Amino acid sequence: MSAEGVARAAGTLASNRVDGLVVIGGDGSLRGALELSRKTEALVVGIPASIDNDIFGTDETIGFDTAVNTAVDEIDKIRDTADSFDRLFVVEVMGRTRGFLALTIGLAVGAEMTLIPEVKYEMENIFRTFKEAKEKGKKSAIIVAAEGIGDTRRLADDLAKATGAEVRLTALGYTQRGGNPSARSRLLASLFADKALELLSAGQGSRVTALQGGEITSVGLEQSCGTEKPLDLNLMNLAKKLAM
């Protein structure tokens, strides 16, 4: 949000005598909410909603579970084709800078390999891994790759040349952002909404609703926007253990 936009929004709140505002969205929306909170007397509370699940302070964001379930359903279908035709599929999922979505999906579908922006990979290691798997009699595989790792088309082409396998690329794209929300996402949205109203009723602004260890709570808006959410690399290690 530009400085002009923030000023205009603050003016709109003041002219309409709005004393409380709930902003629902991802990183960009919450950063806009932070700037607005500095320019208005209205209380501003954020509700994290993003399929990327990259908002600091909350274990999960609204929409993340829905996106994971959508991708898992599609990849389960792709797995049937991979097994039937002895093919290797590279499945590109969303995640330009963070790998929360790809990592969770990779674990859930039992992907033979998961590639995320936070962990650098070497092509030679990928080639060697699948050559060894082929020598052991494994004829099909799934690679789940976050879009932020680079050119997945080139990855698929290089993998085909190096292994001699039939490799197909499937980009799930915006299918992950649509559809009916899962029961878990709906429940989380209701719990976050209730917490947001509780904060406003108590006169507390500049907060973000959060899920921490199964409990609904809140964190400071500035802290949430200014801190990078850590990725649990133990999950990456687990994915590698289960891969082959």
- What are the sequence ranges of the domains in the chain? 3-63+181-226, 65-176
The model's pTM: 0.92
Q: In angstroms, rounded to a whole number, what is the distance separating the alpha carbons of residues 57 and 48?
A: 10
52 is an active site residue: yes
**Tens of pLDDT, residues 190-205:** 999 999 999 999 999 9
Which run of H or of E encompasses 143?
strand 141-146
For residue 20, the model assigns a pLDDT of 97
Contacts 24+ apart (CB under 8 A), 173-178: 173/92, 173/94, 175/70, 175/74, 176/51, 176/67, 176/70, 176/71, 176/93, 176/94, 176/101, 177/51, 177/63, 177/67, 177/94, 178/70
Fold of 65-176: Rossmann fold (3.40.50)
For residue 236, the model assigns a pLDDT of 87
Cα–Cα–Cα angle for 80, 85, 90, nearest 5°? 70
Fold of 3-63+181-226: Rossmann fold (3.40.50)
The reply to whether 65-176 shares the fold of 3-63+181-226 is: yes
Q: Is 124 exposed, middle or buried (0-12, 13-18, 19+ CB in 10 A)?
A: exposed
**Tens of pLDDT, residues 224-233:** 999 999 999 8
Contacts 24+ apart (CB under 8 A), 116-121: 116/146, 116/148, 116/149, 116/231, 116/236, 117/146, 117/148, 117/149, 118/231, 118/233, 119/233, 119/236, 121/149
Pairing of strands 43-48, 207-212: parallel
- Asked if pLDDT for residue 79 goes beyond 80, the answer is yes
Share of the chain above pLDDT 70, in %: 99
Active-site choice (19, 27, 52, 65): 52
Provide the 10 A C-beta neighbour count for residue 74. 18
